[in-house]
Structure 1
Amino acid sequence: MDLQQMRYVVAVAETNSFTRAAERCLVVQSALSHQIARLERELGARLFERTSRRVRLTPAGMAFLPAARQCLDAAERAAAEVAAAVGEVRGRLAVGLIPTVAAADIPGALLGYRRKYPHVRISLRVGASEDLVEQVKQGSLDVAFLGLPPTMRPEGVAAHELARDRLVAVVAPDHPLADEPAVSLRRLSSETFVDFPAGTAGRIQSDLAFSAAGLSRDVAFEVTTADYVTRLVGPGLGVAMLPSAFAPQLTGVVTIEVTDAPTRVEYIIWSRFGHTPAAAAFLKALDIT
């Protein structure tokens, strides 16, 4: 077997289609199908179940896929290491971030990085902090920016603290609290809330603060992005709490200081087992060693 065959298997598995996989790999479908058939004969097992409507992995295919990805990643890393040895950074840089990251200018950092290292393929993924930690551990992300309550730390990864921030209340412009200079958690507890899903790091920091104050609240709207938080708060469907450093990016809402506000810590994380030359160059660009 060879790396090209593994690339074809991964492409079919990710697209669920021989046609789309061939388009992604820039080959004709017959050539891709032929190479996968050769691989299946060599392995002595079918990797895909093919019908007129769908393509899906067989149990053998599901067993083969993780190893194929590891081989491709290892080959990519080997090429990147050789390039780094002769003074050239290439390969991939996969970055993850939470929607409310505010401690770093990520678009600006990525733009400067791309100009300096044009041979590195950059990708970006937005998600929840706990998911980003797992993806860094698994190697699908090289670095990630996340926010956690001060009672939590990223586990199983290398981490560098970027900033600490307090949350502010976010209300509609015509809300009775909109003209107040500050508000307490007790006053907010009587409001209907828009927040992130229960159990996520973005939600836990607020839940812990209300619980520590002996208060309960009604979270009627659970969303996954800060943008949608403001889309619900703006018309007056509820109130929310978001990091103060992120607040200047909000439009159509009013932010208010919270006297006993919860806090969060922003981190950048990477694999504790080392990083690629591309990831090392990115961390260096951020003055993180």
Structure 2
Amino acid sequence: MINEEITLKKLQVFLAFMRLHNLTKVAEELGQSTVSVHRALHTLEEGLHCPLFRREGRSLAALPAAFVFAKHAQRAVEETEEGIRKAREMAGVGSAKMKIGSLYSLTLGCIPQLIMGVKLRRPELQIDLVLGSNQELLLSLKEGRLDAIVVGLQAPLDDPQLLAVPLFQDEVRLAAPLGSPYAGREHVDLRELRSEKFITLAGGFVTSASFDHAFEQAGYVPETIMRVGDIFSLMNLVGSGMGYSLLPGRVAGFSGRIDLIPLDARYSSQQAITLLLLRSRERDPNLLALAAECRMYGTRKH
């Protein structure tokens, strides 16, 4: 059992002394009197039943036991502070920082607008942006490494842990190099491309799932010569004439070297761009601001 004389406040005083090695400087830093600092250190020793310091005139010198204890005390204080932060977030008390996850393909228009909108609502908020695949981002959200994610969904997500805020629907199209035989068409029948070579994204991305879904509708498996890990590389490869792909319409502004041609309605594949966050965090003021911006963005899109 931990002695009642051992408190987090005393640990903070102790750690400050181990860093500054001077009672007066510790008192100034913590806004306490020198007497209070000395009393905290003395009663901490009593609670530990172990000497931590020896007197050298009016000063204290740390004993080896103090250095050993400091390592563990530091971890205890840091873990407690982290626990307080997470508990406050879970209870809906916002922090000064928010981590948002997103797809690479949303960084041209959607994500910058959302971030600017949230910053107008909460100027003091620091926002970190993490980019990745649907699979990576969803895992990070559930593990608490991200506060919210904006991703594309092929179908409604049936997960009671998550709250979904829809933004807009995006249509998947044929991505072809400029001047291809399919240029200028109002729509293209995927069955005409049986002899063509294709490039697509690696598994875990919503666009990879859209690719597979569209060709299932077309009734064949295309010749896929390469799978890449990001959408920018994919567009560059298509633009250089290495093959065709299927890409969402939102990437049109990323490259002037490719055509995005609508698919025949029989092979239609839609992506629902959606904000996801944990239901347990829906009262967090930062996430409320983000959700509000997402709803406004969705209204403008419609």
Superposition TM-score, scaled by structure 2 size: 0.65
Give me the whole-angstrom Cα distance separating, in 1, the residues matched to 2:82 and 2:258.
45
2:147 counterpart residue number: 142
Residue number in structure 2 paired with 1:211 = 216
In the alignment, the residues of structure 1 paired with residue 73 and residue 107 of structure 2 have an alpha-carbon distance, to the nearest angstrom, of 51
Deviation at 1:286, TM superposition (A): 3.2
Report the counterpart of residue 281 of structure 1 in structure 2.
Answer: 289
Unaligned runs of at least 5 residues, structure 1: 6-34, 44-63
* Amino acid in structure 2 at the alignment position of 1:278: N
Distance 1:98 1:165 in 2: 13
Does 1:76 find its partner at 2:81? no
Aligned in 2, Cα 1:177/1:159: closer, same or farther, shift over 3 Å?
same
Q: Post-superposition shift, 1:143?
A: 1.1
* Conserved? CA contact 1:185–1:258, under 8 Å: yes
- The verdict on how the C-alpha distance between 1:253 and 1:143 changes in structure 2, with shifts beyond 3 A counting, is same
Q: Deviation digits for residues 100-155 of structure 1, max 9, x if unmatched? A: 238972212212322432322210001111221111111111111111213x5263
1:266 aligned residue: 273
| Paired residue total | 233
Matched, 1:91 2:99: no
Task: Give the structure-1-normalised TM-score.
Answer: 0.68
What are the within-5 Å matches in structure 2 for residues 1-289 of structure 1?
38=69, 40=71, 71-77=80-86, 90-101=95-106, 105-150=110-155, 153=157, 155=159, 156-259=161-264, 260-275=267-282, 276-287=284-295
Structure 1 residues 212 and 80, CA gap change in structure 2 (3 angstroms): closer
Distance 1:234 1:103, change over 3 A: closer
* Distance in structure 2 (CA, Å) of the matches to 1:194 and 1:153: 27
| Separation in structure 1 between the aligned mates of residue 91 and residue 203 of structure 2, nearest angstrom | 45
CA drift of 1:159 comes to: 1.2
Structure 2 CA distance for aligned equivalents of residues 239 and 36 of structure 1: 64
5+ residue gaps, structure 2: 1-6, 13-65, 297-302
Q: Amino acid of the residue matched to residue 157 of structure 2?
A: R
**Structure of greater Rg:** 2
Give the direction of change, closer, same or farther, for the CA distance of 1:122–1:70 in structure 2 (3 Å limit).
farther
1:204 is displaced (CA, Å) by 1.4
What SS does structure 1 have at the residue aligned with 2:257?
coil
Superposition CA RMSD, Å: 3.6
